[in-house]
Protein backbone atom coordinates (compact mmCIF):
# COMPACT_ATOMS: atom_id res chain seq x y z
CA UNK A 1 0.00 0.00 0.00
CA UNK A 2 1.42 3.39 -1.04
CA UNK A 3 2.29 5.71 1.86
CA UNK A 4 0.28 8.93 2.12
CA UNK A 5 2.37 11.94 1.08
CA UNK A 6 2.46 14.90 3.49
CA UNK A 7 3.65 18.33 2.33
CA UNK A 8 5.07 20.25 5.31
CA UNK A 9 5.23 24.01 4.70
CA UNK A 10 7.18 25.77 7.45
CA UNK A 11 10.28 27.98 7.47
CA UNK A 12 11.35 27.00 11.00
CA UNK A 13 14.27 24.52 10.68
CA UNK A 14 13.49 22.97 14.07
CA UNK A 15 9.91 22.18 12.99
CA UNK A 16 11.13 20.52 9.81
CA UNK A 17 13.79 18.58 11.72
CA UNK A 18 11.12 17.37 14.15
CA UNK A 19 8.36 16.54 11.68
CA UNK A 20 10.45 14.79 9.03
CA UNK A 21 11.43 11.77 11.18
CA UNK A 22 8.26 11.84 13.30
CA UNK A 23 5.93 11.64 10.31
CA UNK A 24 8.25 9.19 8.58
CA UNK A 25 8.09 6.90 11.62
CA UNK A 26 4.28 7.13 11.43
CA UNK A 27 4.42 5.73 7.90
CA UNK A 28 4.10 8.92 5.83
CA UNK A 29 6.19 10.18 2.94
CA UNK A 30 7.31 13.75 3.72
CA UNK A 31 7.87 16.58 1.23
CA UNK A 32 9.10 19.95 2.52
CA UNK A 33 8.71 23.59 1.51
CA UNK A 34 9.78 26.74 3.35
CA UNK A 35 7.98 29.45 1.34
CA UNK A 36 4.49 29.93 -0.03
CA UNK A 37 5.79 29.86 -3.58
CA UNK A 38 7.57 26.55 -2.99
CA UNK A 39 4.41 25.18 -1.37
CA UNK A 40 2.21 26.02 -4.36
CA UNK A 41 4.74 24.51 -6.77
CA UNK A 42 5.10 21.36 -4.67
CA UNK A 43 1.33 20.99 -4.33
CA UNK A 44 1.03 20.97 -8.11
CA UNK A 45 3.98 18.70 -8.84
CA UNK A 46 4.18 16.14 -6.02
CA UNK A 47 0.38 15.93 -5.45
CA UNK A 48 0.31 15.59 -1.64
CA UNK A 49 -2.47 13.80 0.23
CA UNK A 50 -2.38 16.33 3.10
CA UNK A 51 -0.71 19.73 3.51
CA UNK A 52 0.54 20.96 6.90
CA UNK A 53 0.85 24.72 6.57
CA UNK A 54 2.34 27.45 8.76
CA UNK A 55 0.73 30.90 8.44
CA UNK A 56 3.92 32.91 8.99
CA UNK A 57 5.91 32.29 5.80
CA UNK A 58 8.75 34.51 4.54
CA UNK A 59 7.20 35.43 1.18
CA UNK A 60 3.43 35.46 1.81
CA UNK A 61 0.83 34.87 4.47
CA UNK A 62 -0.27 31.26 4.80
CA UNK A 63 -3.89 32.34 4.30
CA UNK A 64 -2.94 33.47 0.78
CA UNK A 65 -1.53 30.00 0.15
CA UNK A 66 -4.87 28.51 1.23
CA UNK A 67 -6.74 30.84 -1.14
CA UNK A 68 -4.46 29.93 -4.05
CA UNK A 69 -4.76 26.22 -3.36
CA UNK A 70 -8.52 26.27 -3.05
CA UNK A 71 -8.79 27.78 -6.53
CA UNK A 72 -7.82 24.40 -7.99
CA UNK A 73 -7.34 21.76 -5.27
CA UNK A 74 -9.40 20.05 -2.55
CA UNK A 75 -6.34 18.59 -0.78
CA UNK A 76 -6.85 18.65 3.02
CA UNK A 77 -4.98 21.55 4.65
CA UNK A 78 -4.05 21.52 8.34
CA UNK A 79 -2.85 24.88 9.66
CA UNK A 80 0.04 24.56 12.14
CA UNK A 81 0.80 27.98 13.55
CA UNK A 82 1.85 29.94 16.63
CA UNK A 83 -0.86 32.49 15.91
CA UNK A 84 -3.44 31.88 18.62
CA UNK A 85 -5.97 34.64 17.88
CA UNK A 86 -9.45 33.33 17.14
CA UNK A 87 -9.71 35.69 14.18
CA UNK A 88 -6.72 33.99 12.54
CA UNK A 89 -8.24 30.54 13.03
CA UNK A 90 -11.61 31.62 11.68
CA UNK A 91 -10.10 33.38 8.66
CA UNK A 92 -7.97 30.37 7.68
CA UNK A 93 -10.87 27.95 8.11
CA UNK A 94 -13.32 30.16 6.21
CA UNK A 95 -10.84 30.37 3.33
CA UNK A 96 -10.86 26.57 3.05
CA UNK A 97 -8.40 25.11 5.56
CA UNK A 98 -9.65 21.88 7.09
CA UNK A 99 -8.21 22.10 10.61
CA UNK A 100 -6.02 24.23 12.87
CA UNK A 101 -3.43 23.23 15.46
CA UNK A 102 -1.53 25.72 17.60
CA UNK A 103 2.20 25.56 18.27
CA UNK A 104 3.56 24.08 20.49
CA UNK A 105 1.84 20.82 19.61
CA UNK A 106 2.08 17.10 20.24
CA UNK A 107 2.90 14.69 17.41
CA UNK A 108 0.09 12.39 18.61
CA UNK A 109 -2.51 15.10 18.08
CA UNK A 110 -1.08 16.04 14.69
CA UNK A 111 -1.05 12.47 13.37
CA UNK A 112 -4.61 11.97 14.63
CA UNK A 113 -5.71 15.06 12.70
CA UNK A 114 -3.87 13.78 9.61
CA UNK A 115 -5.70 10.44 9.83
CA UNK A 116 -9.03 12.26 10.12
CA UNK A 117 -8.22 14.42 7.10
CA UNK A 118 -7.25 11.37 5.04
CA UNK A 119 -10.44 9.51 6.02
CA UNK A 120 -12.57 12.50 5.16
CA UNK A 121 -11.00 12.79 1.72
CA UNK A 122 -11.55 9.11 1.00
CA UNK A 123 -15.16 9.33 2.18
CA UNK A 124 -15.93 12.38 0.06
CA UNK A 125 -14.35 10.86 -3.04
CA UNK A 126 -16.33 7.68 -2.46
CA UNK A 127 -19.66 9.50 -2.16
CA UNK A 128 -20.43 8.45 1.40
CA UNK A 129 -24.14 7.72 1.89
CA UNK A 130 -24.29 7.14 5.65
CA UNK A 131 -22.59 8.56 8.73
CA UNK A 132 -22.41 7.32 12.31
CA UNK A 133 -21.39 8.56 15.77
CA UNK A 134 -22.00 7.21 19.28
CA UNK A 135 -25.03 5.14 18.28
CA UNK A 136 -26.34 7.86 15.94
CA UNK A 137 -26.85 6.93 12.27
CA UNK A 138 -27.51 9.38 9.43
CA UNK A 139 -28.84 7.94 6.17
CA UNK A 140 -28.01 10.60 3.56
CA UNK A 141 -30.01 8.94 0.77
CA UNK A 142 -33.25 8.52 2.76
CA UNK A 143 -32.71 11.64 4.90
CA UNK A 144 -33.31 9.59 8.03
CA UNK A 145 -31.63 9.95 11.43
CA UNK A 146 -31.80 7.31 14.15
CA UNK A 147 -30.20 6.50 17.49
CA UNK A 148 -29.75 2.88 18.54
CA UNK A 149 -32.22 1.91 15.82
CA UNK A 150 -34.94 4.36 16.90
CA UNK A 151 -35.90 7.09 14.42
CA UNK A 152 -35.41 10.70 15.51
CA UNK A 153 -37.62 13.57 14.37
CA UNK A 154 -35.55 16.51 13.16
CA UNK A 155 -36.75 19.68 11.47
CA UNK A 156 -35.39 20.28 7.93
CA UNK A 157 -32.95 22.92 9.22
CA UNK A 158 -31.79 20.70 12.09
CA UNK A 159 -31.17 17.89 9.60
CA UNK A 160 -29.25 20.16 7.20
CA UNK A 161 -27.14 21.47 10.09
CA UNK A 162 -26.36 17.95 11.29
CA UNK A 163 -25.39 16.72 7.82
CA UNK A 164 -23.19 19.76 7.21
CA UNK A 165 -21.27 18.97 10.40
CA UNK A 166 -21.20 15.21 9.79
CA UNK A 167 -19.87 15.56 6.24
CA UNK A 168 -16.89 17.35 7.78
CA UNK A 169 -16.45 14.87 10.63
CA UNK A 170 -13.37 15.54 12.70
CA UNK A 171 -12.89 19.00 11.19
CA UNK A 172 -13.78 22.40 12.62
CA UNK A 173 -16.67 24.04 10.74
CA UNK A 174 -16.84 27.76 11.44
CA UNK A 175 -19.95 29.62 12.57
CA UNK A 176 -20.03 31.55 9.29
CA UNK A 177 -19.69 28.41 7.15
CA UNK A 178 -22.59 26.73 8.97
CA UNK A 179 -24.84 29.77 8.86
CA UNK A 180 -24.28 30.56 5.18
CA UNK A 181 -24.58 26.92 4.12
CA UNK A 182 -27.78 26.15 6.03
CA UNK A 183 -29.55 29.54 6.19
CA UNK A 184 -27.92 31.62 3.46
CA UNK A 185 -25.49 34.53 3.20
CA UNK A 186 -27.92 36.96 4.85
CA UNK A 187 -27.59 34.99 8.13
CA UNK A 188 -23.79 34.75 8.10
CA UNK A 189 -23.41 36.68 11.35
CA UNK A 190 -26.43 35.34 13.31
CA UNK A 191 -24.43 33.50 15.99
CA UNK A 192 -27.28 33.48 18.51
CA UNK A 193 -29.50 31.86 15.88
CA UNK A 194 -26.92 29.10 15.35
CA UNK A 195 -26.44 28.49 19.10
CA UNK A 196 -30.18 28.02 19.53
CA UNK A 197 -30.32 25.41 16.77
CA UNK A 198 -27.21 23.63 18.02
CA UNK A 199 -28.85 23.44 21.46
CA UNK A 200 -32.05 22.00 19.96
CA UNK A 201 -30.09 19.51 17.87
CA UNK A 202 -28.03 18.33 20.83
CA UNK A 203 -31.24 17.86 22.80
CA UNK A 204 -32.37 15.35 20.18
CA UNK A 205 -29.20 13.47 19.24
CA UNK A 206 -26.93 13.50 22.33
CA UNK A 207 -27.26 10.95 25.12
CA UNK A 208 -26.50 13.78 27.55
CA UNK A 209 -26.98 17.22 25.96
CA UNK A 210 -25.18 18.82 28.92
CA UNK A 211 -22.08 16.75 28.07
CA UNK A 212 -22.16 16.53 24.25
CA UNK A 213 -19.99 13.86 22.64
CA UNK A 214 -21.09 14.16 19.02
CA UNK A 215 -21.13 17.91 18.40
CA UNK A 216 -18.20 19.57 20.18
CA UNK A 217 -17.86 23.33 20.60
CA UNK A 218 -14.68 25.03 19.39
CA UNK A 219 -14.93 28.26 21.44
CA UNK A 220 -15.05 31.40 19.33
CA UNK A 221 -14.59 29.44 16.10
CA UNK A 222 -17.35 26.91 15.39
CA UNK A 223 -18.23 23.26 15.96
CA UNK A 224 -16.72 19.82 15.32
CA UNK A 225 -18.64 16.58 14.64
CA UNK A 226 -17.00 13.58 16.31
CA UNK A 227 -17.66 10.44 14.29
CA UNK A 228 -17.13 6.85 15.35
CA UNK A 229 -13.57 6.80 13.94
CA UNK A 230 -12.46 10.19 15.26
> pTM above 0.75?
no
Residue 176 has pLDDT above 70, yes or no: yes
Q: What is the mean pLDDT of the chain?
A: 88
201-225 pLDDT per residue, tens: 999 999 999 999 999 999 989 999 9
How would you class 111 by CB atoms within 10 Å of its CB: exposed for 0-12, middle for 13-18, buried for 19 or more? middle
92-116 pLDDT per residue, tens: 999 999 999 988 889 999 999 998 8
Eight-class DSSP state of 56: B
Architecture per CATH, 130-225: Orthogonal Bundle (1.10)
Contact 3, 28 (CB under 8 A): yes
CATH topology of domain 5-125: Rossmann fold (3.40.50)
Q: Quote the pLDDT of residue 1.
A: 44
For the chain, the straight-line distance linking the first and the last C-alpha, in angstroms and rounded, comes to 22
Ranked by mean pLDDT, the top range of 16-25, 79-88, 135-144 is 16-25
Question: Percent of the chain scored above 90 by pLDDT?
Answer: 57
28-76 pLDDT per residue, tens: 999 999 999 999 999 988 888 899 999 999 999 999 999 999 988 889 9
Hey, where are the domains in the chain? 5-125, 130-225
Q: Which residues pair with 130 in a beta bridge?
A: 139
Amino acid sequence: MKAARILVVDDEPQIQRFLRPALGAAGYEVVEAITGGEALKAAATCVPDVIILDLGLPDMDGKDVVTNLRAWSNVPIIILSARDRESEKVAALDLGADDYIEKPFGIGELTARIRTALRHRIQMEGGQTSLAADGLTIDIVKRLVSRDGKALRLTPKEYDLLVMLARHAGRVVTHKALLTSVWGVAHGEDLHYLRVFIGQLRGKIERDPADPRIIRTEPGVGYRFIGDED
